[in-house]
C-alpha cells in the first residue's frame, strides 16, 4: 500500500487493541484512519495470548467494556466472514477456603448490581460440570455462564478486516521513528517510509507503547513480564465445551483447546523481562519471538494443576508458550489522552486480559479520540491516574511484579501494596510513626491510615470481616466528634492559577460560581460536555488575579491536565503545580478554634473568619494559608503550611492542644466521618457518569447566573427533565454486616441500583452506604420515601433504612439516624 501523506487519525500497533480501535473509528465515526504495524497484524503479545474472556470487574464501567467485547465477538464473524474462535463456555471460579468464598459471594452480588447473572455452586455441582476435576478441597465455585474463550489471532484478523471494510487503511512492515511537533502537539508521524501528517495519534503499540510514548515525552508505565502456559495433547473425556476454569487459590487457569487443555498461572515470584537494552527497551524484532521454555519456574503451576486435574500427570505437553505480556503497576490497563500531549491517546498495558478487553477498549477509546473526552467513567484505567513517580523504571518494575503476584490472591478490603515504600513522605512522617501511625500509600505518598494504641502492633491484619483497625479507628472518629484531631493531609494536590484572565478561565471550567471576593473559597465540580462530574475541588481566591486550587492526592495529574486542557489558549493565565510547596494540616473538631487561637494572633472567631473563607495567618513564625472548610462535619480549618515549616506548625498545634487532648487522626477515621456527614467522594460516589443534580449537588451549579461554563448546555437539558437516578444514603442496623460498595439496592424487593461506597459510622453506630436509586419513569422524593429497602450484602438480603439528609449534623441534635 502506498503511504498516505495525511490522515485524520494514525493508530500505531496492529495487535487486538490497535485493530479494534481502528475498526471502531472507521465503523462508528467514519474517521480517516491509518494503522501502522512494524511487523504483521497480531504480532507482539496478541498472537500468543491465552484467549480467556472474562467480564466481571469491580468497576461498573469496565464491566460494561468487557461485556461489550463479548457482544462484539459473538457477531463479528457474520460481519467480516472471518471466524473468531469465540465459544461461550462460561467460567468456573473455584474457592477452597472461607475467605475466598466470602469474596465470591461479594462478587456474585456485584455481578447482580451490574446486571449479570453469577451463580454460586456446590462442589458436587462443579464435579458434574467438570468430571475430570478433583473437587474434594472445594468450598464451592462461582459460575458466570456468559464468559468464554476465543482465538486471539482470529479475532484480531477479523477486526482488521472489518476496519478495512469500513475504510481504514492498515499498513504492515512499517516502523514509526518519531514525531513532528508544533506547540506541544503532534502534527506528523515519522516512519522509515516517509511522514504522515495527522490530527491525532493513538498509541496501541503494546509492549512497545512505552518506547513510542517516550519519542514525544509521554510516560506509559509498563513492565514486560514473562508469562508461561502450556498446551496439552488431547485428554480423554474432556468435553469440547468444557467451561474455562480459574483456580485462584492454586494460582492457575485452564481452558479447553482442540481436546486438550491450555493451562497457565500467576506465580508469586514473577520474572520481569530484563531486556538488556538502554532503558529496558523491547527489541523491535521481537514480533513473533518467545523465550526459552522454563520448566523449573513453571513447575509450581504444574504441581498445583495436577492436583486439580489429575489427568495432567500423564498427558503429553504439545507446546509451552513463554512470552512477554505488558503489565502495569496497579493491574489495570491504560487508556486515554496523555497529560503531556493533548493529541496522543494511549491504549496499552492490558495485564494479560487484552483479548477480554479488546473489543470494548477499542470502542471506548475510539469515541474518546473523536470526542476528546471519555464516553463513560473510565477513571480506573485513565492514564492520568499516574504521576512523575511512574517515570522511575525500577519503581514501576517492583510495583508491577507485586501486582502480578497478587493477580489471583484474595482481594482483601483496604489492602495496601508493600513494594517501593516509603517513597514520598511528609515532614511529619517520623513524628507520626512515634504516635503509632499505620501508613497507607497514595500516588507514592505515605499517609497515616490509623494509629495503633500503645501495646498494639502498628500493622494492618487483613480479613474479609472486621479488620484489626476497626476499634482504634472508632476511637479516633469519636475523638474528632467530641474534642479535636489533627490530620496530615500534605499529599493533597495543589495548584495556583494566576494572570489577568484567571477569574474568567475558572468561570468557564467550574460549575459553581468562583467569581467571589478575595478571601472566599468555593467547592465546585468540573464537568464534561455531558454534564458529568470530571473533578471536584476547592478554589480559594487569594487576590484578584490569583487562585489556590486544592484537590485529592490521586487526582493530581488528571485535574491539572483537565484544567489546563479546557481553560483555552486565549486566556492570559499561568497554571502551576505547587503540591510540594505546602504541607497540609487539617485541624478538626469542636475544640479546633480553642487550639488555633492559642497559636496565632489572628482573629479566628466566626465573625472574623466565617466558613468558606481563606485567610493568611501566622503560626510559629510562619505564614499559613488557613482555609475554613471541613470534610468531617465539624468546626475546622485546613492549614496550608510552607512545606519546610510543617513540623514546627504541627508541634505548636500539638503543644497548644494538650489541654484539649488533641491527637493525630488517620484517613480511615476521615472516611467514616465523611460518610456520616454525607459528603461525596469523587471516583466512587460522583463520577463522569453522574450529573450534579443526580448527585444532590445542584446547589453547587451556577445555572441561575448568565455565566456560560463547560457542561452548562447538558445540565440545562437535564434540569427540564425528571431525574432517572438519585443519590441516597442507607443504614443497616446489623453490626455484623460489612458494607464496602457495589452491594445491590432493593426497593420493594426489586433491584434499583447499587452502593457506590460503604463503611461504618461510629457516632450513629450503624453501617452506612451511599448509592444511586434508578427508575426509568423518574426518581423524586415521593418515589424514594415510599419504598421499602433492603441491601444485598454478599448474597444476603438485609433490611436497610433510606436517608435523604446527612446522618450527622453538629449544629442540631448531632445524630439523625
pLDDT tens for 612-641 read 999 999 999 999 999 999 999 999 999 999
With beta carbons less than 8 A apart as the criterion, state whether 586 and 639 touch: yes
Q: Report residue 46's pLDDT band, with 50, 70 and 90 as the boundaries.
A: confident
Instruction: With both helix axes pointing from N to C terminus, report the angle between 152-165 and 354-371 in degrees, rounded to the nearest 10.
Output: 30
- In this prediction, residue 811 has a pLDDT band, given cuts at 50, 70 and 90, of low
pLDDT band with cut points at 50, 70 and 90 for residue 817: very low
Residue 294, number of CB atoms within 10 A of its CB: 13
pLDDT at position 277 over 90: no
User: What is the Cα–Cα distance from 204 to 368, expressed in whole angstroms?
Assistant: 14
3-state secondary structure string across 37-61:
ECCCCCCCCCCCCCCEECCCCCCHH
- Tell me the average pLDDT across 94-100: 97
pLDDT of 104-128, one tens digit each?
999 999 999 998 889 999 999 999 9
436: Cβ–Cβ under 8 A, 6 or more apart, which residues? 451, 452, 453, 454, 456, 458
> Whole-angstrom Cα distance, residue 657 to residue 591?
9
Using 50, 70 and 90 to split pLDDT, how confident is the model at 573?
Answer: very high
Average pLDDT over residues 528-541: 97
User: Above 60 in pLDDT, residue 412?
Assistant: yes
Q: What are phi and psi of 659, to 5 degrees?
A: -70, -15
Question: Does the pLDDT of residue 472 top 50, yes or no?
Answer: yes
Share of the chain above pLDDT 70, in %: 99
Q: Above 90 in pLDDT, residue 141?
A: yes
- Residue 536 pLDDT more than 70? yes
Q: Mean pLDDT over all residues of the chain?
A: 95
Supply the DSSP symbol for 589: S
CB neighbours of residue 307 within 10 Å: 15
The pLDDT value recorded for residue 286 is: 82
Residue 814's pLDDT band (cuts 50, 70, 90): very low
Q: What is the pLDDT of residue 562?
A: 96
Is the pLDDT at 816 greater than 60? The verdict is: no
Percent of the chain with pLDDT over 90: 90
In this structure, the chain runs to a length of 817
The DSSP-derived string for 723-758 is -SEEEEEEEE--TT----S-PEEEETTEEEEEEEEE
pLDDT for residue 813: 40
pTM score of the predicted model: 0.95
Task: Provide CB contacts within 8 A for 561, sequence distance 6+.
Answer: 339, 384
**Average pLDDT over every residue of 483-506:** 98
Asked if residue 812 has pLDDT above 80, the reply is no
Helix (H, G, I), strand (E, B) or coil at 495: strand
What's the mean pLDDT in 472-500? 98
Q: For the beta carbon of residue 408, count every other beta carbon within 10 angstroms.
A: 20
**Cβ neighbour number for residue 115 with a 10 Å cutoff:** 12
Measured between alpha carbons, how far is 93 from 143 in angstroms, rounded to an integer? 7
| pLDDT tens digits for range 675-722 | 999 999 999 999 999 999 999 999 999 999 999 999 999 999 988 899
pLDDT value at residue 378? 96
- Report which secondary-structure segment, H or E, holds 398: helix 393-405
CA distance 448 to 119: 39
Mean pLDDT of 441-451: 98
Q: What is the pLDDT of residues 367-408, one digit of tens each?
A: 999 999 999 999 999 999 999 999 999 999 999 999 999 999
Instruction: Identify which has the larger pLDDT, 417 or 813.
Output: 417
Of 32-41, 174-183, 268-277, least confident by mean pLDDT is 268-277
Strands 533-543 and 521-527: antiparallel
Q: How confident is the model at residue 150 (pLDDT cuts 50, 70, 90)?
A: confident
Q: Which domains does the chain have, with CATH numbers?
A: 6-84+150-223+330-385 (3.50.50.60), 91-148+225-277+289-319 (3.30.9.10), 492-577+691-720 (3.30.70.1400), 582-660 (3.30.1360.120)
Q: Which residues touch 168 (CB under 8 Å, ≥6 apart)?
A: 22, 23, 25, 26, 33, 34, 35
| pLDDT for 365 | 98
Neighbouring CB atoms inside 10 A of 422's CB total 11
Query: Among candidates 142, 138, 145, which has minimal Cα distance to 103?
Result: 142
CA–CA distance, 735 with 508 (Å, rounded to integer): 46
The 10 Å CB-count burial string (b at 16+, else e) for 668-697 is: bbbbbbbbbbbbbbbbbbbbbbbbbbbbbb
Amino acid at each position: 500500500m502506498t503511504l498516505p501523506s495525511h490522515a485524520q487519525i494514525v493508530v500505531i500497533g496492529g495487535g487486538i487493541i490497535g485493530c479494534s480501535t481502528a475498526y471502531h473509528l472507521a465503523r462508528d465515526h467514519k474517521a480517516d484512519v491509518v494503522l501502522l504495524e512494524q511487523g504483521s497484524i497480531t504480532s507482539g503479545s496478541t498472537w500468543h495470548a491465552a484467549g480467556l474472556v472474562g467480564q466481571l470487574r469491580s468497576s461498573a464501567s469496565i464491566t460494561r467494556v468487557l461485556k461489550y467485547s463479548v457482544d462484539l465477538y459473538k457477531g463479528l464473524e457474520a460481519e467480516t466472514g472471518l471466524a473468531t474462535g469465540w465459544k461461550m463456555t462460561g467460567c468456573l471460579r473455584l474457592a477452597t477456603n472461607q475467605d475466598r468464598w466470602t469474596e465470591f459471594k461479594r462478587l456474585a452480588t456485584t455481578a447482580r448490581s451490574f446486571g449479570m447473572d453469577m451463580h454460586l455452586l456446590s462442589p458436587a455441582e462443579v464435579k458434574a460440570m467438570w468430571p475430570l476435576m478433583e473437587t474434594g478441597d472445594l468450598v464451592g465455585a462461582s459460575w458466570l455462564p456468559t464468559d468464554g474463550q476465543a482465538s486471539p489471532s482470529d479475532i484480531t484478523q477479523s477486526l482488521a478486516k472489518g476496519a478495512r471494510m469500513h475504510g481504514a487503511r492498515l499498513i504492515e512492515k512499517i516502523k514509526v521513528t518519531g514525531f513532528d511537533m508544533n506547540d506541544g502537539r503532534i502534527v506528523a508521524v515519522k516512519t522509515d517510509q516517509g511522514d504522515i501528517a495527522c490530527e491525532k495519534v493513538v498509541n496501541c503499540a503494546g509492549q512497545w507503547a512505552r518506547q513510542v510514548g517516550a519519542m514525544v515525552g509521554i510516560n506509559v508505565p509498563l513492565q514486560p513480564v514473562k508469562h508461561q502456559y502450556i498446551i496439552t495433547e488431547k485428554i480423554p473425556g474432556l468435553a469440547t465445551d468444557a467451561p474455562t476454569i480459574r483456580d485462584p487459590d492454586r494460582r492457575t487457569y485452564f481452558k479447553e483447546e482442540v481436546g486438550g487443555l491450555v493451562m497457565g498461572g500467576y506465580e508469586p515470584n514473577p520474572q520481569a523481562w530484563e531486556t538488556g537494552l538502554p532503558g529496558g527497551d523491547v527489541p523491535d524484532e521481537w514480533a513473533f519471538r518467545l523465550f526459552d521454555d522454563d520448566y523449573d519456574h513453571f513447575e509450581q503451576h504444574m504441581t498445583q494443576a495436577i492436583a486439580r486435574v489429575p489427568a495432567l500427570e500423564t498427558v503429553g505437553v504439545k507446546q509451552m508458550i513463554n512470552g512477554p505480556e505488558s503489565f502495569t503497576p496497579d493491574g489495570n490497563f491504560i487508556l486515554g489522552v496523555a497529560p503531556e500531549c493533548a493529541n496522543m491517546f494511549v491504549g496499552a498495558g492490558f495485564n494479560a486480559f487484552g483479548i477480554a478487553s479488546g473489543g470494548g477498549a477499542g470502542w471506548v477509546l475510539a469515541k474518546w479520540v473523536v470526542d476528546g473526552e471519555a464516553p463513560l467513567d473510565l477513571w480506573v484505567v485513565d492514564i492520568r491516574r499516574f504521576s512523575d513517580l511512574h517515570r522511575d523504571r525500577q519503581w514501576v518494575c517492583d510495583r508491577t511484579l507485586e501486582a502480578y503476584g497478587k493477580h489471583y490472591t484474595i482481594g482483601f478490603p483496604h489492602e495496601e501494596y508493600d513494594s517501593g515504600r516509603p517513597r514520598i513522605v511528609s515532614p511529619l512522617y517520623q513524628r507520626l510513626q512515634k504516635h503509632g501511625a499505620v501508613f497507607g500509600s497514595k500516588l507514592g505518598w505515605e499517609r497515616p491510615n490509623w494509629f495503633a494504641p500503645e501495646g498494639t502492633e502498628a500493622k494492618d491484619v487483613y480479613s474479609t470481616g472486621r479488620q484489626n483497625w476497626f476499634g482504634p479507628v472508632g476511637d479516633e472518629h469519636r475523638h474528632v466528634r467530641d474534642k479535636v484531631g489533627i490530620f496530615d493531609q500534605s499529599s493533597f494536590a495543589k495548584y495556583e492559577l494566576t494572570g489577568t484572565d484567571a477569574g474568567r478561565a475558572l468561570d468557564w471550567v467550574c460549575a459553581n460560581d468562583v467569581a467571589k471576593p478575595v478571601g472566599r473559597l468555593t467547592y465546585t465540580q468540573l464537568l464534561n460536555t455531558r454534564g458529568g462530574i470530571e473533578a471536584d475541588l476547592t478554589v480559594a481566591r487569594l487576590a484578584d488575579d490569583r487562585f489556590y486550587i486544592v484537590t485529592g492526592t490521586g487526582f493530581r495529574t488528571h485535574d491539572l491536565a483537565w484544567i489546563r486542557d479546557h481553560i483555552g489558549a486565549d486566556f492570559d493565565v499561568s497554571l502551576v503545580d505547587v503540591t510540594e510547596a505546602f504541607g497540609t494540616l487539617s485541624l478538626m473538631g469542636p475544640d479546633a478554634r480553642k487550639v488555633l487561637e492559642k497559636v496565632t494572633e489572628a482573629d479566628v472567631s466566626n465573625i472574623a473568619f466565617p466558613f468558606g473563607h481563606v485567610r493568611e495567618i501566622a503560626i510559629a513564625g510562619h505564614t499559613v494559608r488557613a482555609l475554613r472548610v471541613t470534610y468531617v462535619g465539624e468546626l475546622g480549618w485546613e492549614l496550608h503550611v510552607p512545606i519546610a515549616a510543617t513540623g514546627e506548625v504541627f508541634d505548636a498545634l500539638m503543644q497548644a492542644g494538650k489541654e484539649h487532648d488533641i491527637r493525630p487522626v488517620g484517613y480511615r477515621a476521615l472516611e467514616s466521618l465523611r460518610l456520616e456527614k454525607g459528603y461525596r467522594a469523587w471516583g466512587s460516589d460522583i463520577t463522569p457518569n453522574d450529573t450534579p443534580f443526580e448527585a444532590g449537588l445542584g446547589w453547587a451549579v451556577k445555572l441561575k447566573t448568565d455565566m456560560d461554563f463547560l457542561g452548562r448546555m447538558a445540565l440545562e437539558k437535564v434540569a427540564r427533565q425528571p431525574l432517572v437516578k438519585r443519590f441516597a444514603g442507607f443504614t443497616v442496623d446489623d453490626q455484623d454486616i460489612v458494607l464496602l460498595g457495589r452491594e445491590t439496592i432493593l426497593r420493594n424487593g426489586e433491584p434499583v441500583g447499587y452502593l457506590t461506597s460503604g463503611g461504618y459510622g461510629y457516632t450513629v453506630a450503624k453501617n452506612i452506604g451511599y448509592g444511586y436509586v434508578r427508575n426509568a419513569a423518574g426518581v423524586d422524593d415521593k418515589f424514594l420515601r415510599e419504598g421499602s429497602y433492603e441491601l444485598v450484602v454478599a448474597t444476603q438480603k438485609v433490611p436497610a433504612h433510606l436517608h435523604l439528609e446527612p446522618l450527622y449534623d453538629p449544629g442540631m441534635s448531632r445524630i439523625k439516624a
